[in-house]
Structure 1
Amino acid sequence: MKNVYVLFGKNSTLEVEDGKYGGEVLGYFSSYEKANAKAQKINEEWLELKILEVSVE
């Protein structure tokens, strides 16, 4: 298994086993640091951005 970090905006919803995560998917990343760097490049003041860690096979 491998962890993937998903960066979300605020316009859609992704359903996962432990709940719903709001937001348009803005990218998939191999590390939290890369996802966070992209979030800051998009807009440092956009407080609705979220990063979700998921495991894939």
Structure 2
Amino acid sequence: MVSSTESKTVKRTINYLVDGNEVSAPDSVNQEFTFSRDVFTDTITGDVTYGNWNVDNT
């Protein structure tokens, strides 16, 4: 069995809208999250098993 790690980065932008002109909307917020999971490959059969996705909360 061979194990490795797969990771993906997801980016999002949050834009705020305010109804009316009494208060201005806050600036947009950009966020980036990196998810990773373990990948296990059976060297004999080639079957691949994936672990659960985990997020880096920093």
Q: TM-score, normalised by structure 2?
A: 0.22
As a proportion of its length, which structure holds more helix?
1
Higher relative contact order structure (alpha carbons within 8 Å, sequence separation ≥ 6) = 1
- Normalised by the length of structure 1, the TM-score is 0.22
Structure with greater Cα Rg: 2
